[in-house]
């Protein structure tokens, strides 16, 4: 299933309803409602602020975590000033072992150079999930966002496709993912001289934990523009 939206604010109520209407699944940390194999397309990802009052998006935290990733960092101490619970997702209380910053910083430069040389390349791919480091490891922090693919669209702009193995709609996708990856796309588009295209999320599991269901219901009640659906 693919759903197309103008921006993250338009997408959120509809996605909340779709996930709430999905099956109940047990997980490592409790019951979830889960929608499998979804694709979400944001046409105007630069409009990255979530305006829904019930979501109460923490803009300083979103900005801080995005800058933290772009700086190549994975230390908990600095991030904890903006995300007080950051240490809860660390194995040692010091770093996020699966933090995106160290895994992205070098490859991001290479992707920019590759796209500068050839706007039409299909090889601008960054693997975040590393089988040598992550497969079968007992850890609180295994990367949920697994792969980034920057690719020119039919209009000549630069799209970013994000592959995600598991995504919490409340605290993952709307909490940081839509914000951080739109910023990364904008930066890469700028430095390669390409227009900013669409941000596309391919998600194997998009879910809501039981503790979020009541809040999700309130968000889902908002009327928003209907998505454009395609098979």
State how beta strands 23-27 and 158-164 pair.
Answer: unpaired
By annotation, the residues acting in catalysis are: 144
Q: Residues 6 or more apart from 28 whose CB is under 8 A from it? A: none
User: DSSP string of 85-127?
Assistant: TGGGG-SSSSB-TT-HHHHHHHHHHHHHHHHHH-TT-S--EEE
State how beta strands 158-164 and 30-42 pair.
Answer: unpaired
Alpha helices in 6-165 (DSSP H): 8-20, 59-70, 76-80, 100-117, 131-134
Torsion angle (degrees, nearest 10) of CA 61, 127, 14, 156: 100
Burial class for 91, CB neighbours closer than 10 Å (0-12, 13-18, 19+): middle
Q: CB–CB of 147/202 below 8 Å? A: no
């Amino acid at each position: 299933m693919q759903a197309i939206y103008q921006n993250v604010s338009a997408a959120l109520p509809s996605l909340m309803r779709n996930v709430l209407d999905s099956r109940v699944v047990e997980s490592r940390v409790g019951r979830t409602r889960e929608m499998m194999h979804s694709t979400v397309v944001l046409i105007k990802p630069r409009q990255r602020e979530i305006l829904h009052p019930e979501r109460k998006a923490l803009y300083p935290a979103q900005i801080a975590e995005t800058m933290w990733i772009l700086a190549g960092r994975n230390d908990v101490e600095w991030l904890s000033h903006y995300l007080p619970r950051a240490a809860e997702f660390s194995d040692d209380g010091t770093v996020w072992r699966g933090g995106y910053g160290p895994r992205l910083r070098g490859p991001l430069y290479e992707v920019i150079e590759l796209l500068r040389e050839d706007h039409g390349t299909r090889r601008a791919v960054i693997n975040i999930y590393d089988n040598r480091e992550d497969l079968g490891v007992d850890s609180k922090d295994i990367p949920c966002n697994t792969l980034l693919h920057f690719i020119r669209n039919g209009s000549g702009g630069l799209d970013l496709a994000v592959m995600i193995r598991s995504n919490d709609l409340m605290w993952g996708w709307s909490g940081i993912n839509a914000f951080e990856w739109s910023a990364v796309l904008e930066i890469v588009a700028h430095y390669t001289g390409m227009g900013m295209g669409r941000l596309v999320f391919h998600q194997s599991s998009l879910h809501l934990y039981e503790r979020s269901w009541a809040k999700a219901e309130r968000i889902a009640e908002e009327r928003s523009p209907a998505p454009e659906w395609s098979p």
